[in-house]
Structure 1
Amino acid sequence: MKTSVRVPVGASVAALLLAAGAVGCSGGTEESPEMTPAAAVAKAAKNTEEIDTIRYRLTGRAPEEGRVKAEAQMQLKPELAMSMKMTALDQGAGASAEIRLVDKAMYIGGGAEAAKEMDGKSWMKFDLSALGAEGEELDQLGSASQADKNPAAESTFLTGAEDVEKVGTETVDGVKTTHYKGTVTVADLEKSLADEDKATREKRQKSLEQYEKMGVDKLTMDLWIDGDDHTKQFRMRGDADKGPLDMTFTFLGFNEPVKVSAPPAKDTMDLAEMMKESQQG
């Protein structure tokens, strides 16, 4: 067996996609006329606490990777589980991958292209508990901590903007929404952590660390909120050290059953086992 392998195409986007996200979607009409933009955004942020599962579609541009698209489903409670199919559109043929997180292990599948590099196996397993956060292989994914972040944390950042304003009403995927926008700096978000409860502070801190690593110091935020005060669509933009960040999440459902299974063992290369064999050798 080869002791040196290349992580399947698109894996460097995995941490970014796991780091990003927002809340669920629903139908309805726009918010009450007396609600201010700041109040509407705050109410949608509060509603993230009621979300156990989400399904969403992602399109946009990631630093280094260029244009990406993905569809995902994620369970936030009682234990984190997720599956995502993604494609790096500017990376040529075969630049697709599937990511699964289940039972505290991350699996990255690259199909036939990955199998060429991994003795016929199309999946690589990263056992987060076995490898630990200090492993070099985990650094390629951003860090192990990115896998256990609640994606709803990203959408609540707009509550920290001082310039939140209402853009207008728009229909997104057949749902009437009200569009809001604003800007926030990572430094201001860091300062605001002291005013949050412990759970919210921990969620936001993980996200902010990711942006700091990318070199993003300011985010332009857009939120499309439906008549039930849930975010239907979410967009974030910023300038990173290695290129622009511009991600739009459209939410397809929430609090629906989510089932994620580990890939067949016969098709999976276990990175922890491979490292152990390498050390023994």
Structure 2
Amino acid sequence: MNKAMWKRAGITLTAAAVVTGLAGCQDGGDKAAEAPAKAQSQEDVTKVIQAAYTKTAAAKSAKIKMTMEMPAALEGGGTMEMTGVQGWDPAVMDITVKGSMLSAGGPGAPEQMRMVMLDNAMYMDMGAAQAAEMDGKRWMKLDMKAVAEAAGGQAAGKSMTGGLENMNQDPAKQLALLLESPDLKHVGPEKIDGVDTQHYKGTLTLEQMVAANKNLDVLSEKERTELVDGVKKAGIKAYDTQIWVNGDGYPVRMDLGMKMEQGTVKMGMRYSDYGAEATVQAPPAKDTVDLFEMLKGLGQG
């Protein structure tokens, strides 16, 4: 595997890793609804978000369009757009990725890349040109479970994989996290893609985010502390989130991001067709290179 290909894979994984429990202070939605609405009480706000959580969790899947922007000061910084389908019970994803972050992989970088996630593994289509350098195998696989086991600890594993197991941004979990925000509030009515919605937002500190993230319950107190310390060293300061809920009680837009010393990593997600079938299949083994096994082989060599 040549240097350009390693860089391309690294940039893609970096982008995927950043898409992990983020929160964003992005700009607002589309033009606000003309008719002013009475501000909702804190009790009403909580009821709306709780109801949205219940409906979203039950839907289990949706069509998605995600955009991400990373500060230029970060390695692999730039923009990325992802479209496709995702499921969150179980966690699966089949998306097409394009944007400047992909083209930063150097000469021969594909204009777009397909990424598939299921069974705790991420598969990346590196393109026909790169397949020639991998014995005709165009798919690269990263088995997150294998990495975590080899790392010797849940915290180390999550750090090494960049939290890829959460890349699909389960919208139900985002709603649950928003409920933990001490300043959760109703912003007001807005139209999103021509649909009437209600806009809500809240903020969580790093410590509050970790405490609210049930995915981290498997960590020991020591591992949790190590994880938090590592995130702090990366310069992460705070998480914010904004959500727009339609008249049917489903979130149609979420803006997530992460404040860092280098700037704010921003991600916007649009959801539609809740309950859409999310049938995801792994690429054939004969067309796949296992990145973790390859790295182990290089280490032994």
TM-score, normalised relative to structure 2: 0.70
Residue 94 (structure 1) aligned to one of 87, 107, 110:
110
Count matched residues: 264
* Alignment partner of 1:40 is 2:42: no
Distance of 2:217 and 2:195 partners within structure 1: 29
Distance of 2:133 and 2:159 partners within structure 1: 20
SS in 2 for 1:10: helix
Code of the residue aligned with 2:17 in structure 1: it is A
Change over 3 Å in CA distance of 1:183–1:143 after alignment to 2: closer
Corresponding position of 1:74: 86
C-alpha displacement at 1:279, in angstroms?
5.8
C-alpha displacement at 1:222, in angstroms?
1.3
Code of the residue aligned with 2:94 in structure 1: it is S
1:39-87 CA-partner distances (Å, limit 9, x unpaired): 323332343331311221111313532222111322222x332212222
C-alpha displacement at 1:180, in angstroms?
1.8
Change over 3 Å in CA distance of 1:138–1:5 after alignment to 2: farther
The root-mean-square deviation of aligned C-alpha atoms, in Å, is: 3.9
Corresponding position of 1:184: 204
Distance of 2:217 and 2:254 partners within structure 1: 17
Pairing 1:1-281 to 2, within 5 Å after superposition: 6=6, 8=9, 9-17=11-19, 19=21, 36-63=44-71, 64=74, 65-77=77-89, 79-90=90-101, 92=103, 94=110, 96-112=112-128, 114-115=130-131, 118-134=134-150, 141-143=161-163, 145-146=165-166, 150-191=170-211, 193=212, 201-202=214-215, 215-275=235-295, 277-278=297-298, 281=301
Distance of 1:4 and 1:279 partners within structure 2: 20
SS in 2 for 1:229: coil
Distance of 1:181 and 1:149 partners within structure 2: 17
Change over 3 Å in CA distance of 1:20–1:72 after alignment to 2: farther
1:130-180 CA-partner distances (Å, limit 9, x unpaired): 444545998664146546974531233222233333332222233221112
Distance of 2:119 and 2:293 partners within structure 1: 17
State percent identity of aligned pairs.
26
- Runs of 4+ in structure 1 over 6 Å off: 1-5, 30-35, 203-206, 208-211
Structure 2 segments unaligned to the other structure (5+ residues):
24-36, 104-108, 220-226
C-alpha displacement at 1:113, in angstroms?
5.5
Contact 1:3 1:274 in 2 (8 A): no
Contact 1:154 1:204 in 2 (8 A): no
Change over 3 Å in CA distance of 1:204–1:50 after alignment to 2: farther
C-alpha displacement at 1:116, in angstroms?
6.0
Corresponding position of 1:196: none
Contact 2:142 2:291 in 1 (8 A): yes
Contact 1:82 1:100 in 2 (8 A): yes
1:206-254 CA-partner distances (Å, limit 9, x unpaired): 9x96965754332232110111222111112331244321111100222
Corresponding position of 1:197: none
